[in-house]
Amino acid sequence: MISFFRRLGQTGLSILEVFGRSGLILVQSLIVWPSIRGGVPLLIQQLYSIGVLSLVIVVVSGLFIGMVLGLQGYTILVAYGSESAIGQMVALTLVRELGPVVTGLLFAGRAGSALAAEIGLMKATEQLSGMEMIGVDPLHRIVAPRLLAGFISLPLLAMIFSAVGVWGGYLVGVDWLGVYEGSYWGNMQDAVSFSDDVVNGIIKSVVFGFVVSWIAVFQGYDCMPTSEGIGQATTKTVVYSSLAVLGVDFILTAVMFGSF
Amino acid sequence: MNLAASDNYIEIRNLRFSRGDRVIYDDINLDIPRGKVTAIMGPSGTGKTTLLKLIGGQLCPDRGAIIVDGENIPELSRSELFNARSKMGMLFQSGALFTDLTVFDNVAFPLRVHTKLSEVMIRDLVLMKLHAVGLRGARGLMPNELSGGMARRVALARAIALDPKIVMYDEPFTGQDPIAMGVLVQLIRLINDALGLTSIVVSHDVQEAASIADYIYIVANARVIGQGAPQELMRSQSPMVQQFMQGMPDGPVPFHFPVQNYQDDLLGDLS
Amino acid sequence: MRIRTVEISVGVFMLAGILALLVLALQVSGLSFDNNRKSYSLYAKFDNIGSLATRSKVTIAGVTVGRVTEISLDNDEHMGLIKMEIDTDVSNLTTDTAASILTNGLLGEKYIGLSTGADEEYLVDGDVIEDTQSALVLEELIGQFLFSEVNAEE
């Protein structure tokens, strides 16, 4: 009995420790960031490997999800004679929820795991140590650009996802299933509010970008410097950031859209 | 402390360092003489790399002083530590080259961080360092295109890029083929003498280390168990030193992991 | 050369993101640049506003001329008080204009339809529309129907 409480306490303490370490890393990376030499080229390099290389999966997924939404939505709405509402259904679903969330999950899987593995590998091959010995803080040179690239990339990717998805819905709804083009866009424009829906979606994706990048970077930096350790760090990144995205999404949705 | 004119480049006094429950160094004293190659040897896992990290300021000791060229490392501020590090070069076991930079950029890295020299000057310096290790022609390659031995030589060029006063080698001989080994051994000695450096070699390769070291420390069980010039140690009477230097499988460091009596184990209950 | 590709593609990426934002803003949510168009406010009180919400449209003859901006309760008369913003272009609403809450399609959202009358004076900023028709609430309709049925039988 006592040992159960002991273990519970130990787990609790070690979780707190993890949060503490990760918080420290976040603060230390970002706090003096502008002063590193050649900061912008590093950021651009990271924007490329994190953002640009995720474009393909985001665009393809967005297109397919938009098309599926169009298809499924049509099937349901046509039973009520309201198929002209397909535009707003696709748009609202994407802009408010699926855009930020699915992009967040895809990002966690593709970019998050790559980040964690990369940093973990640098740790295991003593590159981080070496950098420190030369007098360069790896938190500034390696971690900070990656964090910032994540914060910037995810919102952009989420917007691209939503835009492509809406177009996918258009392809299915208007071109294929024959919904009147005017009502697709017209109803959509009536129903979607920029400040309430689009902006909230963007806020969500910014928060997700923050969460996923932070978790990925921390897992890589904190991992055991062995091949097992790197593998675990990658897995944990994907699992934790996916769960975090979904959890934070619920909270944000409740706050943004829940108050009637 | 007046150490400016000391013969020792590094003086470690009453150093105590532990990791969790494990005491890695218990009140040890070491002197690293200026201009000489000092080897630090000992069984695997005694924390020899940790000592280098302590000297470099990456780790902080529980107690004690680590005085490098007159400065006590654990007490330095961030900017002072930054300057102190520009006088140190470290060669990691795996080379630790930055995988996203070319050989040239790797060697240029410390120069770009610590100096404001023009690219033209940096280019000359980098080429000189690469030439010293015989890899000037490899300047455009990426680290993953180099063999292990070549990677270490590039890492050495990077370690001496800023013309440091001390170079620390972490297990430089491990896993090298005879030719690469020979090259490295020569380089370490040559660079030390030609540039007037102080060198610390951490290794458990008795033969190679003894062949180039001027002075050897043997560290085991969190203490210094032997020190002296290589010949002295070979003739030492201490059983621990004997076992280590001769490479005997059993002795003060036992062969068998602590366990109950063999007969009891075989004939006893399943456990 | 490699570095240039990287920079170009990052530039394209960011451009694509901004483009997506513009698409979302203009095409999807219908944000228009004449948001600075002048408008004036009108009020109306209803017995029951149904599911009318802020941002619901206000139309005349089916053409959108404004939006509902505020919904509150008039505590004295216990009626729903709607505040609407109407385009200043539409300045010839007579003072006996009627406002009804209508439904868009079978499942559709509620919106306000205005129909002008014959008065000679026009509504100005801050006026209250007197003639209002509340939303059709299903239960009341059924109640009325049953009531009239019962009455007819008697």
Mutate to test the interface with A, among B55, B76, B99, B166 (most CBs of A within 10 A): B99
What's the rounded Cα separation, in Å, for the pair B174 and B49? Answer: 13
Q: Which position has the higher pLDDT, B27 or C141?
A: B27
Phi-psi region of B149 (alpha: psi -120 to 50; beta: other; left: phi over 0): alpha
For residues A220 and A96, the answer to whether their CB atoms sit within 8 Å is no
Q: Does residue B60 sit in helix, strand or coil?
A: coil
Amino acid at A45: Q
What secondary structure letter does DSSP report for B202?
E
| Structure confidence by residue, pLDDT tens digits, C2-45 | 678 888 888 889 899 988 888 888 776 666 655 556 788 888 88
- Concatenated DSSP letters of B146-171: S-HHHHHHHHHHHHTTT--SEEEEES
Closest by CA position to B78, among listed C129, A132, A182 = A132
For residues B15 and B54, the answer to whether their CB atoms sit within 8 Å is yes
Q: What is the ipTM of this complex?
A: 0.77
Look at the alpha carbons of A240, A243, A246, A248 in this order and tell me if their dihedral is positive or negative: negative
Q: What is the pLDDT along chain B (271 residues), one digit of tens a residue?
A: 444 445 788 888 888 888 877 788 888 888 888 888 998 888 777 678 888 888 888 888 888 888 888 888 888 887 888 888 888 888 888 788 998 889 999 999 989 888 888 999 999 999 998 998 888 888 888 988 888 888 888 998 998 888 888 999 988 888 778 888 888 888 888 888 888 888 999 887 788 888 888 888 888 777 888 888 888 877 777 777 777 777 777 766 666 777 777 877 788 766 5
Residues forming a β-bridge with C128: C43
Q: Rounded to a whole number, what is the distance in Å from the CA of A89 to chain C's nearest CA?
A: 11
Q: Which among A126, A127, A135 is the nearest to B82, CB-wise?
A: A135
Closest by CA position to B103, among listed B128, B139, B135, B133 = B139
Closest by CA position to A21, among listed A196, A211, A215 = A215
CB atoms within 10 A of CB A27: 10
What residues in chain A have their Cβ under 8 A from chain B's Cβ atoms? 37, 45, 122, 125-127, 129-136
Q: Rounded to a whole number, what is the distance in Å from the CA of A37 to chain B's nearest CA?
A: 8
| Whether C and A touch (3+ CB pairs < 8 Å), yes or no | yes
Mutate to test the interface with B, among A28, A133, A140, A142 (most CBs of B within 10 A): A133
Instruction: Locate the domains of chain C by residue range.
Output: 1-31, 39-143
pTM of the full structure: 0.78
